[in-house]
């Protein structure tokens, strides 16, 4: 087995435990895995970023905006968006290395199990959609690929209109952009949105607002990176 990032061969030490009960093959070598930083310890209770304060400055600003203050119950993320993860996501998302998503599977699943315990049992999992044009360019939707790692039922309840890439916009441009999402199907269950990166939080909130306005009682979100 070779590391999905550096292609170094992964040598697994054989013990009686893993001989009798084999572990799943590791997708990253120890060196590459160590460069991914899990979000642990004190966090902002709303957006899930590392923070000694109960609520970070970003979320205080969101809370002061009547339009957005109630649309998202909380976000949780697996990793901090450091240079290593940024490079991995860019290769996976923009350069078509689809298999690289498997490198995140174990941590993504484990974190999700913790999060769903805080959500009602009838919560529906919904990946953030791409526009048709963006999906055609990439050949896959990264949020749906992450959702499939969880091996749980999910529903695609939203569509997305084409617009300028969020990665090309400034923070202010993102915050002032129009809502690109539309509802395909109305559900009355709580929803947990899945996406790759929580940056400013506007994408998640646009999607959440669509769902709340259509009658969804509560929206949470879960992302790979924050």
Q: Are residues 25 and 111 in the same domain?
A: no
Residue 126 near residue 192, CB atoms below 8 Å: yes
Strands (E) located in 15-80: 74-79
Q: What is the mean pLDDT of residues 146-166?
A: 91
pLDDT tens sequence across 2-37: 999 999 998 777 665 665 565 678 999 999 999 999
Q: Are residues 41 and 29 in the same domain?
A: no
Contacts of residue 103, defined as CB under 8 A and 6 or more positions apart, other chains included, come to 4, 5, 27, 28, 88
Q: Supply the range of the domain harboring residue 4.
A: 1-34
Q: Are residues 127 and 213 in the same domain?
A: yes
pLDDT tens sequence across 73-131: 999 999 999 999 999 999 999 998 999 999 999 999 999 999 999 999 999 999 999 99
Q: Are residues 40 and 151 in the same domain?
A: yes
Q: Are residues 41 and 116 in the same domain?
A: yes
Q: Are residues 202 and 99 in the same domain?
A: yes
Looking at per-residue pLDDT, the higher value among 104 and 178 belongs to: 104
Structural domain total, the chain: 2
Residue 27 Cα distances to 102, 103, 127, 148, angstroms: 7, 5, 24, 17
Residue 190, helix vs strand vs coil: coil
Q: Are residues 28 and 52 in the same domain?
A: no
Q: Are residues 30 and 49 in the same domain?
A: no
Residue 206 Cα distances to 77, 83, 160, 209, angstroms: 18, 27, 11, 5
Residue 146 near residue 89, CB atoms below 8 Å: no
Q: Are residues 28 and 43 in the same domain?
A: no
Residue 163 — very low, low, confident or very high, per pLDDT cuts 50/70/90? confident
Q: Tokens for 201?
A: 């939080």
CATH of the domain at 49: 3.40.50
Q: Are residues 65 and 43 in the same domain?
A: yes
């Amino acid at each position: 087995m070779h590391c999905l990032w550096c292609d170094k061969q992964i040598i697994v030490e054989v013990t009686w435990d893993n001989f009798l009960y084999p572990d799943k093959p590791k997708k990253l070598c120890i060196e590459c895995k160590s460069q991914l930083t899990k979000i642990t310890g004190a966090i902002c209770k709303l957006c899930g970023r590392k923070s000694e304060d109960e609520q970070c400055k970003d979320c205080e600003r969101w809370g002061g905006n009547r339009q957005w203050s109630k649309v998202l119950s909380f976000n949780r993320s697996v990793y901090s968006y450091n240079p290593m993860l940024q490079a991995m996501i860019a290769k996976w998302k923009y350069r078509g290395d689809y298999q690289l998503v498997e490198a995140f599977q174990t941590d993504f699943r484990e974190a999700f199990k913790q999060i769903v315990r805080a959500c009602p049992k009838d919560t529906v999992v919904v990946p953030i959609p791409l526009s048709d044009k963006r999906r055609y360019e990439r050949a896959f939707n990264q949020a749906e690929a992450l959702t499939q790692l969880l091996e749980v039922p999910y529903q695609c309840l939203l569509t997305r209109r084409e617009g300028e890439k969020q990665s090309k916009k400034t923070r202010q441009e993102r915050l002032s952009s129009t809502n690109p999402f539309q509802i395909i199907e109305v559900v009355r269950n709580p929803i947990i949105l899945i996406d790759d990166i929580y940056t400013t939080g506007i994408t998640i909130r646009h999607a959440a607002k669509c769902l709340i306005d259509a009658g969804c009682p509560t929206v949470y979100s879960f992302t790979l990176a924050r």
